Amino acid sequence: MKQISALFCGWLFAVGLGIAGMTKPSKIIGFLDVAGAWDPSLMFVMGGAVSLGLFSFAWVLKRRAPVLDEKFVLAEKAAIDSELLAGAALFGIGWGLSGYCPGPALVSLVTGNGSVIAFVAAMLAGLGVGQWWVGNKR
């Protein structure tokens, strides 16, 4: 049942990204172009997602356990450190340069577009390097 639930949630997320236009790099670049043809629609999509997440997260955590698991799995680190800031900066740079966020890029893979495939390949390589870096740091 967990796999079916995960598949449905992933599908719903992908459909939502598609409907909101978040799979189009031009939408992201338009949002970041505050000095030109600024497109504020991403702000409303993100605001809706953050608002929903904020309220539902607090509500769900009042339960003793998730519906389909024995316990909640939450982040163990709460401190803002240099690794978090570096990761956030790399994420933002990649997002701003390509117009792709990881989720929408994965959804966009179905198009077969070469730039999406290149972005996802670079993203996976970066994740691998990051895992290697963290593993060698310890």
Measured distance CA(11)–CA(16) in Å, rounded: 9
pLDDT 10s per residue in the chain (138 long)? 889 999 999 999 899 888 888 888 888 888 888 888 888 988 888 899 899 999 998 899 999 998 888 899 888 888 999 888 988 998 888 888 888 888 889 999 999 999 999 999 999 998 898 889 888 876
Chain mean position to CA 138:
27
pLDDT at 89: 92
pTM of the entire structure?
0.73
Measured distance CA(67)–CA(34) in Å, rounded: 43
pLDDT at 138: 64
Cβ–Cβ under 8 Å, residues 57 and 50: no
In Å, what is the CA distance from 11 to each residue of 7, 52, 81, 83, 106?
6, 18, 34, 31, 12
Measured distance CA(55)–CA(60) in Å, rounded: 9
Unique residue bearing structure tokens 């049942």:
1
106: three-class secondary structure by DSSP: helix
What does the block give as tokens for 46?
Answer: 């993100």
